[in-house]
Amino acid sequence: MSNPILRVAVAAALAVPLSAFSADNSEIAELKQMFEQMKQQYETRISALEARIQQAEAKAQKAENSAESANQAVAEVQTETTNQRSGDNLFNPAISMVVQGSATNYSRDPEAWSLQGFQLGGESGLKPEGLSLTETELTVSSNVDDWFFAQATIGLHEEDGSTEIDVEEAFVDSLNLPAGLGLRFGRFFTETGYINTKHTHAWGFADAPLTSQAFLGHQYRDDGIRLSWLAPTDTFLELGMEALRGERFPAGGHGDQFLGDAQNYFVRIGRDVGLSHSFRLGISHLQTDPQDRQGGHAHAGHADETFSFAGDSDLTIADLIWKWAPNGDGRRQNFTFQAEYFHRDEDGDVTFTNDTGTALLPYDGTQEGFYAQGIYQFMPRWRVGLRYDRLWTDNDLRVTANSSGEGDDDVLDESGLTDGHDPYRWTLMADYSHSEFSLFRLQFSKDRSRPNESDEQVQLQYIMTLGAHGAHKY
């Protein structure tokens, strides 16, 4: 390299990569330093995050433990409260009141009303004429505990210008018997037919059918026990029997038997028919052995006269209920057909007593009757109804001993058990319900219960319900 220019060029060429290498080394060192700094920062931040996570987990565990302790404390308080209140009634009772009143007019004397061929008793008879508060019911019901449900209904009735207080029902129902079994004990309306189980405010008309008046003394309720069985089938099927004290009309026994002086047996079947129809068919048999069943008919000036029956009495009732509602929705339109047929056989002695003496009347009777009614709701809140009642008898009655001072024919006539007229009645009604808690009803009846002349009866009725009132049965 003697050429100086060449030497300079080679030196310059070698100098450029050396300077570049020097610059690259310093940059790499700087990057390494930055990476180390970032690594330290991230490690610090990661450590801080891990510490926060550990703290959070510790707090969560502490809170969970506290919550478990709090829940346990609440459970202990609830258990203590339940145990404390179980004897006082754990559940608040449902309380309701039904107020019923009427304005009534008759074309014949209601005090002389009678049904030819039947010994009337119990609460049978017509409502007072004029304005009256006919009946007020106060009902309290609740679950007693997980085993029992209880209900009591106190009735306030107007009788001869004064108010009478009566325990209409007071019963206990079982809640958890196995295999579809049900048990009721206390005082209740017996399962003799269909309408007998309904409170008066749930009736479709303002008064009872003639059959209820003649055979059940208006409505039969008694102290006793009921055992029923509901079949586990799609078709409704229920069987049951009732052992009853048997002191009330139409039983009239002494009520001193361990399982009562009266027994009632019933079976009911029902089902839906398509979407719009349903029915229930029932039959019941009431068997009693009256010993001193009081009854008779009102006769002016003869308040000291009494008739009592002792013997055997068997009453069989068949009932049919058919309901229609378009597609099962009865809010706008619905129709209910209801009918019951009664058949009673009685055999025994009727004793007539007055202030002079007695008369003995051997008696063997067959008594029958039915009613049929239809109620049509043609638009919301408005309904109309038509009912027909009829009774007839085949009684064998005679006088075998008489020291009463009255003639045999007079005693037979006053007993009310002689044949000769079949009572019947037509009834038309219309009612309006402003809500499910209020109802106004206008009713007209042409009553031929007594012979020779019809009784035209007009009733204007109101029914008001206050408080929590449970749904009625089918």
Q: Which residues pair with 244 in a beta bridge?
A: 224, 262
pTM: 0.80
Per-residue pLDDT, 80: 45
Mean pLDDT of the chain: 86
Per-residue pLDDT, 392: 98
Instruction: Round to whole Å and give the CA distance between 456 and 110.
Output: 11
Per-residue pLDDT, 32: 63
Which uninterrupted H or E stretch holds 413? helix 408-415
Query: 67 to each of 75, 79, 80, 88, 107, how far by Cα in Å?
Result: 12, 18, 20, 31, 78
Per-residue pLDDT, 469: 74
Per-residue pLDDT, 95: 94
Instruction: Round to whole Å and give the CA distance between 401 and 352.
Output: 10
Among the ranges given (135-149, 176-190, 244-258, 273-287), the one the predictor scored with the smallest mean pLDDT = 244-258
Top-confidence residue, 179 or 469? 179
**pLDDT confidence tier of residue 468, bands split at 50, 70 and 90:** confident
455 has a pLDDT exceeding 60: yes
Per-residue pLDDT, 55: 67
Query: 220 to each of 152, 208, 248, how far by Cα in Å?
Result: 17, 12, 8
Instruction: Round to whole Å and give the CA distance between 455 and 210.
Output: 14
Q: Which position has the token pair 């002695």?
A: 349
> For residue 148, how many other CB atoms are within 10 A of its CB?
15
**Is residue 165 classed exposed, middle or buried when 0-12, 13-18 and 19+ CB atoms within 10 A define those classes?**
exposed
Percent of the chain with pLDDT over 90: 69
Per-residue pLDDT, 420: 87
* pLDDT tens profile 108-153: 999 999 999 999 999 999 999 999 998 899 999 999 999 999 999 9
Question: Using an 8 Å Cβ cutoff, are 458 and 428 in contact?
Answer: no
Instruction: Round to whole Å and give the CA distance between 381 and 37.
Output: 87
63 has a pLDDT exceeding 60: no
Q: Is the peptide bond before 423 cis (omega within 30 degrees of 0)?
A: no
Question: Using an 8 Å Cβ cutoff, are 1 and 7 in contact?
Answer: yes
**Is residue 389 classed exposed, middle or buried when 0-12, 13-18 and 19+ CB atoms within 10 A define those classes?**
buried
Question: Using an 8 Å Cβ cutoff, are 298 and 111 in contact?
Answer: yes
Top-confidence residue, 451 or 52? 451
9 has a pLDDT exceeding 70: no
Instruction: Round to whole Å and give the CA distance between 262 and 326.
Output: 42
298 has a pLDDT exceeding 60: no
Per-residue pLDDT, 91: 54
Per-residue pLDDT, 51: 64
81 has a pLDDT exceeding 60: no
Top-confidence residue, 19 or 104? 104
**pLDDT confidence tier of residue 162, bands split at 50, 70 and 90:** confident
* pLDDT tens profile 315-367: 999 999 999 999 999 999 999 999 999 999 999 999 999 999 999 999 999 99
463 has a pLDDT exceeding 90: yes
Question: Using an 8 Å Cβ cutoff, are 388 and 336 in contact?
Answer: no
**pLDDT confidence tier of residue 371, bands split at 50, 70 and 90:** very high
Per-residue pLDDT, 34: 63
In DSSP notation, 142-193 reads: EE-SSSEEEEEEEEEEEETTEEEEEEEEEEEEES--STTEEEEEEEEE--SS
Per-residue pLDDT, 314: 98
Per-residue pLDDT, 376: 98
In this prediction, residues 244-267 reach a mean pLDDT of 91
* pLDDT tens profile 26-60: 666 665 666 566 666 656 566 666 666 676 666 65
Q: One-letter amino acid identity for 350?
A: V
**Is residue 250 classed exposed, middle or buried when 0-12, 13-18 and 19+ CB atoms within 10 A define those classes?**
buried
> For residue 178, how many other CB atoms are within 10 A of its CB?
5
Dmax over CA atoms of the chain, in Å, equals 183
- The highest-confidence range among 35-44, 256-265, 409-418, 425-434, by mean pLDDT, is 425-434
Question: Using an 8 Å Cβ cutoff, are 185 and 150 in contact?
Answer: no
Per-residue pLDDT, 453: 86
